[in-house]
Amino acid sequence: MSLQSPLAKVIGLGSARAGADHWWAQRVSSIALLLLGSWFLVSLACLDGFDYGSVAAFLARPGNAILVILLVITIGYHSKLGLQVVIEDYLANKALKVSALILSAFFHVLVAATAAYAVLMISLGRSV
């Protein structure tokens, strides 16, 4: 016997009011990372070497640059979602938890943006 009122049932929100989106986003991003991550590692392994020339030439190509930009954005997203759950689990103090969640979100955006910027500069042939 459900304790939810008919209205609550129709709206579909539980006590946390949100979470399904997080769950689904985590799954979709993990599939994207399965593909992008594997591609990236295999591509690196197929390079002639890890000297500057080979690496820069690889990253400069438009297709590779686009995929690596997508890779770092997806890593940032998936990692942000994952760390969010870890923080929510281990930090009970409200102030600490909220601060950590905000810092984590900002951290992931910053790292993803910087990494994407680096790839963009490489593919544009501009030194940073």
In the bound state with other proteins, the residue whose beta carbon lies nearer, of 6 and 53, is 53
* 29-to-3, 6, 35, 55, 65 alpha-carbon distances in Å: 34, 34, 10, 26, 19
Instruction: Please give the backbone phi and psi of residue 90, each rounded to the nearest 5 degrees, phi first.
Output: -100, -15
CA terminus-to-terminus distance, the chain:
63
Shortest spacing between CB 31 and other proteins, in angstroms: 7
In the bound state with other proteins, the residue whose beta carbon lies nearer, of 37 and 101, is 37
In the bound state with other proteins, the residue whose beta carbon lies nearer, of 10 and 92, is 92
By CB under 8 A, name the binding residues for other proteins.
27, 30-31, 34, 37-38, 41, 45, 50, 52, 55-56, 59, 68, 72, 75-76, 79, 82-83, 86, 92-93, 108, 111, 114-115, 118-119, 121-122, 127-128
In the bound state with other proteins, the residue whose beta carbon lies nearer, of 11 and 113, is 113
| Contact (Cβ atoms closer than 8 angstroms) between residue 70 and residue 37 | no
Q: Which of 98, 68, 77, 88 is nearest to 26 (CA)?
A: 77
